[in-house]
Amino acid sequence: MRVAKFGGSSLASAEQIKKVTNIVQEHPERRLLVVSAPGKRDSGDTKVTDLLIELGSKAWHGQSYEAVYETVVDRYRQIASGLGLGESVVQEVAADFTERVQFAADNEESYMDQMKAGGEDNNAKVIARYLQNEGVKAAYLNPYEAGLLVSDEPGNAKVLPEAYEHLYKLRDRDEILVFPGFFGYTPEGKLATFPRGGSDITGSIVAAGVQADLYENFTDVDSVYAANPGVVDQPMEVKQMTYREMRELSYAGFGVFHDEALIPAFRASIPVCVKNTNNPDAEGTMIIAERAQDQTPVTGIAADEGFSTIYVRKYLMNREVGFGRRLLKIVEDEGISYEHIPSGIDDTSVIIDNSQLTAEKEERMLTRIMEELEADDAHIEHGFAMIMLVGEGMHETVGVASRAAQALSNRGINIEMINQGSSEVSLTFGIQAAQADEAIRGLYEQFFRPSVVGTES
C-alpha cells in the first residue's frame, strides 16, 4: 500500500486535480490519497486556507464577510465546473461553509479550526466525487470515521497513540480513499487542526498508521534541492537523504516540509518519496533511514530568519552552580522555548524565535535577569538568521567548519554564533538576517561548486 499526499499547488484547479487522479490510477497500490486545500493557481492568487482565515476572522468579530464567502465558494465552483461536476456539488460546498460560519464555538481558536479545516474537507469531497464520476471505485473518508484522534489543542493538535490502531484497519478497504489533511478529532468529537503545513502531518500519520510501503509526497518541484532555488541558481537535486537530514533541514527553514511533519513516518520507518505532480515520471527524492555517503559531506543548506538573542554577562558565571537553569526558568516562565545556548565562561546567549516575543516579555525577562541573577549586563538583540549546513558525512570529514567559516569570510559576513549538533549532522551559524541569502550562496559555492572558489573537489 502507498499513501500519496498532494499539496495545495497540486490541487489548485480542475486541471491540476485531473493530473492527480491520473497519477493515483497509474499505480494500484496508491489506495490512500491525502489532500490539501486548493492552493495558489499563480503568483497573484490566494490560497483557500488564507481566504478561510479571513472569512473566519470577519465572521467571528461580527464584520461583513459575504464577499470573502462568495470568493471561497466560487473557487470550488470553478473547480467543480472544470471537472464536469454538477451545481449540486457546489451547493453542498456552500451549505457546508454556511454551517461553519454559523458554528457555535466556546473560543476563537476552536472556531477558526472549524473554518480552516473546511478547505481540505470540501476539496476531499469534490475529488472523491470526481473519481466516482470517472468510474473509479473511490470514497471520501472523514478523519473522525477513520479514527484519527488528536489532542484538544486548537491549531496545534498532536496525534494520540490509539489513532494508529484505528488507521491500520483502513488496509481492509478496497477502494481509493480520499482523506482530507490538516485536522483530526478529539476523543470527544471536537475538531482540531495540526500546525500550518498540517496536511503533510496527516499524510505522515496515515502512512505510519496503515504501515505503508511508501509515503509519496507530491508537490510542484522535481526533487528536494541542496539549497533554495530562489537564492541559488540551479542548485543540485538531492536524490537520497536520511530522515535526520530532512528533519534538520526542515527545522532550518527548508520549504519542503514542516519540521514536525514526517516524524510519524520516520518512527515507523516508512520510506518517503518527494515527487512532482507536474512531472510524475521524475525520479524525485527518497528519504530513508540510511544512505550511502557520497563525496560531498554536506547534503543541504538552509536558512531561517526571525531570531533574537538574549545576551547575559556575569563575571565568574561558570563557577555559579545553577545559573543556566535559573536563566532558562525565567525564559520558561514567559512561555518561550529556546533554539540554541552558546556560552563562554562569563557570558551566555539564549537564541529564541521572534514570534514568541513581545515588548512586555522582553522587559520582564531583562528585569528578572538583572535582579534575580545579579547579572553585570543583559540585553536583547534582534535581526538574526540561522544558517544550517546538514549532512551525514560531515562528522567523518575534516575541515567542514573551517571551509564554511572561510566561505562566509570571503563574502564579508560576520559570524555571531556557531553551534554544532552533538550528532554532528548539522552545523549552525548565526548571522545578521540581511546577509542570509549571500551566506547561502557563498556556502553553496564552497561545498557544491568548489571550482568557483578555487577548492579541489
Q: Which residues are annotated as a binding site for ATP?
A: 5-8, 219-220, 225
Q: What are phi and psi of 226, to 5 degrees?
A: -70, -20
**DSSP category for residue 134:** T
Pick out the residues of the known binding site for substrate: 49, 120
What CA–CA distance (Å, rounded) separates 72 from 455?
A: 54
What CA–CA distance (Å, rounded) separates 232 from 199?
A: 28
Q: Which helix (H) or strand (E) holds 99?
A: helix 87-101
Q: Which helix (H) or strand (E) holds 21?
A: helix 14-26
Give the cell for residue 107: 473560543
Residue 64 vs residues 58, 116, 232: alpha-carbon distances, Å: 6, 18, 44
What CA–CA distance (Å, rounded) separates 418 from 439?
A: 14
Residue (of 110, 14, 8, 116) closest to 55 by Cα position: 116
Q: Which amino acid is at 422?
A: S
Q: How many CB atoms lie within 10 A of CB 421?
A: 16
Vertex 229 angle, CA 424 and 422, to 5°: 10
The helix-helix angle for 66-82 and 14-26 (nearest 10°) equals 50
Only one residue has cell 554564533, namely 417
Q: What are phi and psi of 320, to 5 degrees?
A: -95, 105
What CA–CA distance (Å, rounded) separates 98 from 51?
A: 14
DSSP letters along 170-191, please?
GGG--SEEEEE-SEEE-TTS-E
Q: Which amino acid is at 395?
A: H
Give the cell for residue 368: 528578572
Pick out the residues of the known binding site: 5-8, 49, 120, 219-220, 225
Give the cell for residue 307: 531570531
Phi-psi region of 45 (alpha: psi -120 to 50; beta: other; left: phi over 0): beta
